Structure 1
């Protein structure tokens, strides 16, 4: 049988996602993977150095596709930082939900290992760059070194918040993941309220929501 010629990066990603979901394991080798999908092994290496590289790029593509969709909206472009971040979250988790089986497979495979962090490293870089470019207003420290520390702290805390939301989404069993939507809205609004030093109403509200969820799951 003649080999497929027009094989692109997205084709290989689709082949890989289908394979691991059907077999519940990684392909044994690049050669076997290429043969199963009827393309030349060399085509794989035009785009990827390993299966781990595919896994990393998949999560980055979830991010890229989310941002691409948002940037097509004039309404999104006109949003302030808070609403841009909320829009990102809702759209990103719609993307994850459309690929939930794969996301859970990939994250559980490296559960509680450093490889899990490596798997998300490209996503983290893209997301923290996104946070940096939102120009979120914070207290003006007026000292260069402290400003750099503040910027890094903001990016890292935003990343941790995204990871916590992903964990909540993975454990969410509500219809249409409606509790995740509530979690997103409350956590993002609370984060901005903390930065803007406004009254603690939303912080308390978010705390009550988390406490209620923990009690019900215990």
Structure 2
């Protein structure tokens, strides 16, 4: 009796793409090549994705969506303040990508031009900034009475930049269980929130010392 062919789905294509990339240490050469070795048609592929590059972007969207889904399942999460929510987001997100570290590092280092690598995160950037806007609390808006729309955009952009720096630190982190990334997250998020409240000195100095120590040790 013939084995029933597994139904094709977006998640299955993503899984096949990641497996191919890791097993061959490179991306598929073309949609034709990718579909042929995985026994489905180009027409089926295009019903889910427009290009191979769009799969790469989708993978990071999946990491983002899964992180938020896991956070929302925690009944205590909605009671957290903004800082605690962001810390929870960071630790959950980095736990997910650490489970897929080989693929993530390979993808974000595939081009010598760092801008091209960052562009892969373009769609995730929109979701991340939307997430930041959602967790900005009324208390924060009240404290910043002059907070205008452009200032809120600046806030979400600054948190995105911090997020990119954290990914870069994690990619370079060789400590056991990536414990230095955990320290980096705690210190950088604390410093960011104190900057927002215009009382930054202690945390910024502490964060600066940590970064300086890490850079010196690697030289």
- State the match for 2:50 in structure 1: 49
- State the match for 2:144 in structure 1: 140
How far the C-alpha of 1:90 sits from its partner, in A, is 0.3
Say which is worse superposed, 159-168 or 109-118, in terms of deviation. 109-118
How far the C-alpha of 1:198 sits from its partner, in A, is 2.9
Cα pair distance change 1:199/1:106, threshold 3 Å:
closer
Secondary structure in structure 1 of the residue aligned to 2:136: coil
- State the match for 2:191 in structure 1: 190
Counting only pairs closer than 5 Å after superposition, residues 153-164 of structure 1 correspond to structure 2 as: 153-164=154-165
Q: CA RMSD in A?
A: 1.8
Paired positions, count: 215
The answer on whether the counterparts of 1:3 and 1:38 sit within 8 Å (CA) in structure 2 is no
| Separation (CA, whole Å) in 2 of partners of 1:129 and 1:104 | 25
Say which is worse superposed, 24-33 or 116-125, in terms of deviation. 24-33
| Separation (CA, whole Å) in 1 of partners of 2:97 and 2:32 | 29
List gaps (5 residues or longer) in structure 1.
Answer: none
Q: Please report the TM-score for the alignment, with normalisation by the length of structure 2.
A: 0.92
The answer on whether the counterparts of 1:3 and 1:39 sit within 8 Å (CA) in structure 2 is no
Say which is worse superposed, 169-178 or 72-81, in terms of deviation. 72-81
- State the match for 1:176 in structure 2: 177
The answer on whether the counterparts of 1:4 and 1:39 sit within 8 Å (CA) in structure 2 is no
Counting only pairs closer than 5 Å after superposition, residues 1-218 of structure 1 correspond to structure 2 as: 4=5, 6-136=7-137, 137=140, 139-142=143-146, 147-198=148-199, 200-218=201-219
How far does the alpha carbon of each residue in 1:28-84 deviate from its partner, in whole angstroms, 9 at most, with x for none? Answer: 221221121122322211110011000001011110000000100011111110000
| Separation (CA, whole Å) in 2 of partners of 1:3 and 1:122 | 35
Cα pair distance change 1:22/1:199, threshold 3 Å:
closer
List gaps (5 residues or longer) in structure 2.
Answer: none
Cα pair distance change 1:111/1:159, threshold 3 Å:
farther
How far the C-alpha of 1:113 sits from its partner, in A, is 4.1
How far does the alpha carbon of each residue in 1:179-209 deviate from its partner, in whole angstroms, 9 at most, with x for none? Answer: 0000000000111111112362222111111
Cα pair distance change 1:199/1:152, threshold 3 Å:
closer
Secondary structure in structure 2 of the residue aligned to 1:102: helix
